[in-house]
Structure 1
Amino acid sequence: MKKMKHLGTLTAIAGLALLLTGCVQRTKAGKPYGAIYDYLAVPTQHVMSWLAGMLGGSYGWAIIAVTFIVRMILLPMMINQSRKATVQQEKMAFVKPQMTAIQERQQNATTNEEKAAASQQMMSLYRDNGISMTGGIGCLPILIQLPVFAALYAAIQYSPALSSGAHGSMFMGVSLGKPSIFLAALSFLVYLLQGWLGTLGIPAEQKKSMMSMMIVSPLMIFFVSFRAPAGLGLYFFVGGIFACIQTLIIYFYRPRIRASVAEEMKKNPPKVVVPPIKPAEPKTTVTQTQRHHDNRQRNAGKQQHHSD
C-alpha cells in the first residue's frame, strides 16, 4: 500500500512536469499558442499585471498574492485530506498484528496460489476494517492545483514583462523570468521541513516508510523549480510555507484524532481476517527450567543410590 501511495505521488509530479513543459507550443516566429496558453496563461498574465499594479508594480508580490488566494481556498480541503490520512494511520495501528501475519505469509509463500491468497487476505483486512488502500489521500487537491500550476508556469515563462526584465520583474534581487537556484533551494528546504514535520508524533515504523518520500518529493520540486522561471519557484516556496502550517495543524490535532479512533475501535473492534502472530516463548527460559528440573531429578537419584 505504501508503495502505491509513493508511486501515485511520483506519477502526479512527473505528469505535472510533462504537462508544464509540453502543452504550450510556439510558432516559427516564437509566439506561444495552445489551449494551456490561450485559456490559462493569458488570463493569469492579466490577473498578475492587475495585482502587480495594485501592489506597487511588483510581480513578486503579485505571485505571492495569487499563491495566498489559492492556498486559502484549498486549505480546508487539504486539512480534511490530512485528517483522513491520519485516521487511516491510526486504524492501521490496530490491525498491525494481523498485517504482520499476512506479510509473513506473503514472504514465505512458495507458489503463486499462496501469494494470491495472501494478497486477497490483505485486501480483505483493509476492506473489512474500513481502511483505504490509498491511505485516505485523495487526488482532488492535486487535480485542483494542476490548472493553477500550468497557468502560472506558462504565464510566467511567456510573460513579456518578466522575460524582458521590465520594472517589477525583479523580486528581492531575483529575476522572476529566469531560473533561480536560490528560490529552487528555498523550495526544497521548505518542503523538506514540511516532510519532517509530517513525521512528528507517529510510530517509528511508519517514520521509516516515510523517509524516502520525505526526500524524493522535495527533490522533485527542486528540479521542477530549477528548470522553471523563478516566479514558479516563488509560488512553490510560499505554498510550502502553507503546507508546513497545514502539517502543524494536523500535528496538534492528532491526539484528538487518536482518541476518537480508539473510542471507535472499542465500540467496533477490528475484524479478524487472520489470527495475529503470537510471540514465541523464549527458548532459553524453557531450557534453563528443564535443565534445573533434570538436575534435581539426577541429584535425588544419586542420594537414593547412596542410601541404598
Structure 2
Amino acid sequence: MKRRIIVLISIIFLLLLAGCTQINQPITPESKGIWNEYIVYPLSWLITKVAQVLGGSYGLSIIVVTIVIRLIIFPLMVKQTKSSKAMQALQPELKKLREKYSSKDQKTQQMLQQETMALFQKHGVNPMAGCFPLIIQMPILIGFYHAISRTRAIAQDTFLWFDLGVKDPYYILPIIAGITTFIQQKMMMAGTENQNPQMAMMVWMMPIMIVIFAFNFPAALSLYWVVGNIFMIVQTYFIKGPELQKTSASGNAGGAKK
C-alpha cells in the first residue's frame, strides 16, 4: 500500500513539474500533454462555461466549480473520516504493541510493523486513507493556478474587492483561508490530539502554510481554498456532529473542574 502511494505521489509530482514549464503559455484546446489535456484545460473550460451561465462572473463560477469538485471527492472525505475514527479506536491496542516492542533493534521493529499491519487488516483500517483527499486536491489546486494564470479572461476578471489573477491587496482572503483551515483541521482532529501529537501539530502548521502560500498566489486560489474549507466545515459537522458535541462537552467539563 505504501509503495502504491509513493508511486502515485511521484507521478503527480512529475506531472506538476511538467506543467510548471508552461506557466506562461495560454491554455487552449490545442495545448498538448497529459497535464494540459486532462487537468488544466478541463478546469479552464469548466470555469469559463459556468461563468457564461452566471452572467460572466468568473468569481461566482469558481465558487460553483469548487463546490462541484468537493461534491465529487465527497466519498473520499467520508472514507477519510471513517478511517480517522477507526484509527482513534485502535489507539489503545497500538499503544500496547509499542510498549510490547519497545526495543529499537531492527528485528523488534520489524515485528512491531508486522503486528501493526495485522491489526489494521483485522479491523479493515487503511492508515493511508487520510492521504487520498490531499493527493487528489494537489493537482486540482495547482491546476486551478494554471487555469487562472493561463486563461486571460479569468485572470483579468474582478470579484468583490479583488482581481482574480493577482493576490488580494488587503490580504483578507489569505487570513480567512488560514482561519477556516484551522477550524476544519480542528474539527477533523477532534478527540485525537492527545493520542497523535504529530497530527495535533498539523492543526497549527497547515493554516500557517496556507496563509503563506495565499499571500503570494492569485486571489482566485484563496477563493477556491476558502469556499472548499467552508464546504468541509459544514460536511464535517454533519458527519461528526455527535462526536464534536461530545468533545466540546468534555472540554467544558474539564474547564469547569479546574
Q: Same fold (TM over 0.5)?
A: yes
**Separation in 1 of the partners of 2:50 and 2:118?**
53
**Separation in 2 of the partners of 1:110 and 1:153?**
45
Q: Using a 3 Å threshold, how does the CA distance of structure 1 residues 57 and 217 change in structure 2: closer, same or farther? A: same
- Aligned residues with identical type, % of pairs: 25
Contact 2:12-2:139 within 8 A present in 1 as well:
no
Size of the aligned set, in residue pairs, is: 233
- Kindly provide the CA deviation profile for residues 31-78 of structure 1, in whole angstroms up to 9, marking residues without a partner as x: 345523355333433332332233232211110011122222332442
Work out whether 1:239 is the aligned partner of 2:239.
Answer: no
- Kindly provide the CA deviation profile for residues 216-256 of structure 1, in whole angstroms up to 9, marking residues without a partner as x: 2233333443333211111111000111112112222549x
Work out whether 1:154 is the aligned partner of 2:150.
Answer: no
Contact 1:157-1:228 within 8 A present in 2 as well:
no
Correspondence for 1:130 among 98, 123, 126:
123
Name which of structure 1's ranges 144-153 and 226-235 shifts more when overlaid on structure 2: 144-153
**Separation in 1 of the partners of 2:104 and 2:63?**
57
Q: Which residue of 2 aligns with 1:70?
A: 69
Normalising by structure 2, what TM-score?
A: 0.73
Contact 1:152-1:232 within 8 A present in 2 as well:
yes
Work out whether 1:194 is the aligned partner of 2:184.
Answer: yes
Contact 1:40-1:150 within 8 A present in 2 as well:
no
Correspondence for 1:101 among 77, 89, 96:
96
Q: Using a 3 Å threshold, how does the CA distance of structure 1 residues 18 and 221 change in structure 2: closer, same or farther? A: farther
Q: Which residue of 2 aligns with 1:50?
A: 49
Correspondence for 1:175 among 137, 148, 163:
163
Q: Which has the higher contact order (CA 8 A, sep 6+)?
A: 1
- Kindly provide the CA deviation profile for residues 55-103 of structure 1, in whole angstroms up to 9, marking residues without a partner as x: 232211110011122222332442243123313322x15xx1x433332
Q: Which residue of 1 aligns with 2:110?
A: 116
Contact 1:45-1:155 within 8 A present in 2 as well:
yes
**Separation in 1 of the partners of 2:195 and 2:39?**
40
- Kindly provide the CA deviation profile for residues 271-300 of structure 1, in whole angstroms up to 9, marking residues without a partner as x: xxxxxxxxxxxxxxxxxxxxxxxxxxxxxx
**Separation in 2 of the partners of 1:21 and 1:229?**
19
Deviation at residue 212 of structure 1 after TM alignment: 1.0
RMSD: 3.5
Unaligned runs of 5+ in 1: 256-308
Normalising by structure 1, what TM-score?
A: 0.62
Residue identity matched to 2:108: E
SS of residue paired to 2:56: coil
Name which of structure 1's ranges 34-43 and 60-69 shifts more when overlaid on structure 2: 34-43
**Separation in 1 of the partners of 2:127 and 2:215?**
30
**Separation in 2 of the partners of 1:110 and 1:144?**
35
Residue identity matched to 1:48: I
Deviation at residue 148 of structure 1 after TM alignment: 3.2
Residue identity matched to 1:23: G
SS of residue paired to 1:205: coil
**Separation in 1 of the partners of 2:76 and 2:135?**
12
**Separation in 1 of the partners of 2:61 and 2:100?**
56
